[in-house]
Homo-oligomer: A and B are copies of this chain.
Amino acid sequence: MITMKLTITKSSNFKTKPDPSSLSFGKHFTNHMLMMNYTEGEGWTSPQIVPYQPITLDPSAMSLHYSQSVFEGLKAYRTEDDRILLFRPEKNFERLNRSSDRLSIPAVNEELVLSYLKELLLLDKEWIPTTEGTSLYIRPFIIATEPNLSVAPSTTYTFMIILSPVGSYYAEGINPVSINVEEKFTRAVLGGTGTAKTAGNYSAAYKAQVGASGLGYSQVLWLDGIEKKYIEEVGSMNVFFKINGEVVTPALSGSILEGITRMSTIELLAEWGITVSERRLSMEELYQAYEKGELEEAFGTGTAAVISPIGELNWGDKKMVINNRQTGDLAKKLYDTLTGIQTGKIHDPFNWTVEVN
C-alpha cells in the first residue's frame, strides 16, 4: 500500500558525537537519515527515517552519469534555552522544487518534507552542537536512480535528508577573505542551470577554485558568462558591495542562485532603512569606485558562512584592498543580527525562525 505516513526505524548503533571544538564542515553525520522514493505513476511514497547508512545504486543509476540531482542546504540551531530553530526552511523547500523543475525532477510536497525534517531533527536533537558558531547543517537532496544509460529524465528518484554537525565557519570569529576575480572559467550563463542548486554547477567550479587557491586566494569571484564584465557570485555565495554609502548586489540575472541569506540580507537592510540596489555591477565600475576611495565594504552571503567579508579582491593585475582587510561595520551588524536571530539570541521581528517541537 502506498502511504505518505512517515515510518521510523531507530538506530541501535549510536555513533560517538564529534568534539564540538574539532568540527569542520560536512564530515560527520548523525545517527539517522530520511529517505523517500519516487516512481513514475505512483509519485513520492513511503517516507522513512532509517539509521544513517550507505545507499546502494545500480552502476547505471542515472544520477551518476547525467547528474540529474538537486540539493538544498540549511541549518538547525539549538538556543540557550534548548529549543531547536530552523531559519526560513520553507524557502529552501520552495527553492528545491524550483531547482527540480529546471532539472525535470518531480516536485515534493514542501509542507510534508518539512514535517519529516522536523521528525528527523527531534530524533537526532542531541547532535545539534551548542558551542558558539556551531550548528547542525541539513542537506536535503534528490538523486535520479533509474538504472538506464538513456539521456532522458529518470522515472525513479530518491529524496534524502542527511544531517551534519558543523563548526564555526570562522575559527577565530568573522574574518575577511581574499578573492580572485575569475576571467577564464564561467560558472553559469543565461539559459543554463545557474539559478538551480544542482550538482553539476558545483564541480564545474573546482578548476577555477583550485587555480585561485594556488594563487593564495580562498575563493573565486564569478563574472557573467556572456560579456565577462558583470559580477555574479563569489565562491558559492551571493555578493554585496557598499559603494559610497549605497549597498549594491547583482540583480538575479537568470544565472545567479537565489540565495536565502541574500534575500534575508536585503529584507533586513530594508528594515534598517537601507535600500539595496539590485542591478548589474561591472568590475570596471567597482574598480573605479575603489580608485575613488568609495568601495567601503564587500561581503558574501550564504548559509555556510552567513556573512563573509571580503578583504581583498584581485582582478588581473589590479589588487583592491577593502576596508583595510577589516570586517566592515555593516557586515558585522548583519552577521550579528542574522546569527542572533538564527540562534534565538535576539528577537526575530520577521518570524523567520521556525521552532521544531
Chain A positions near chain B (C-beta within 8 angstroms): 24-27, 29, 33, 52-60, 63-69, 71, 101-104, 137, 139, 141, 143-144, 147-153, 160, 162, 164, 184-193, 198-207, 209-210, 225-226, 228, 235-236
Q: Are A199 and B54 in contact (CB under 8 A)?
A: no
- Give the complex CA separation of A24 and B25 in angstroms: 43
- Since A103-B204, A190-B225, A199-B200 are in contact, a sample of 16 more A-B pairs with Cβ atoms closer than 8 Å, ordered by chain A residue number, is A26-B148, A27-B150, A53-B59, A55-B56, A59-B160, A67-B199, A68-B203, A68-B206, A103-B206, A104-B203, A104-B206, A151-B205, A152-B209, A185-B192, A192-B204, A193-B200
Residues in B with CB closer than 8 Å to A190 are 186, 225
A57: contacting residue among B57, B68, B205, B235, CB under 8 A: B57
- Some 11 contacts from A to B, beta carbons below 8 A apart, are A55-B57, A60-B139, A65-B139, A68-B203, A68-B206, A151-B205, A152-B206, A185-B192, A189-B192, A191-B228, A225-B226
A151 and B59 in contact (CB under 8 A), knowing A189-B189, A225-B189? Answer: no
> Which DSSP category, helix, strand, loop or mixed, fits chain A's interface?
loop
Asked if B199 and A198 make an inter-chain contact with CB atoms under 8 angstroms apart, the answer reads no
Complex Cα distance, B150 from A235, in Å, reads: 12
Quick one: given A57-B55, A164-B60, are A66 and B226 in contact (CB under 8 Å)? no
* Chain B hits for A188, CB < 8 A: 192
B29 lies within 8 A of A207 (CB): no
| Contacting residues, chain B, for A56 (C-beta < 8 A) | 54-57
- In the bound complex, do residue B60 and residue A63 qualify as a contact, i.e. CB atoms below 8 Å apart? no
Q: Give min CB distance, A241 to chain B, whole Å.
A: 23
The residues of B that contact A137 with a CB separation of less than 8 Å are 149
CA–CA, A24 and B104, complex, Å: 22
Closest 9 CB pairs of A and B: A200-B200, A26-B149, A186-B191, A67-B199, A66-B202, A68-B203, A67-B67, A104-B206, A189-B189
Inside 8 A of A225's CB, which chain B residues have their CB?
A: 189-192, 225-226
Most buried by B among A150, A202, A228: A202
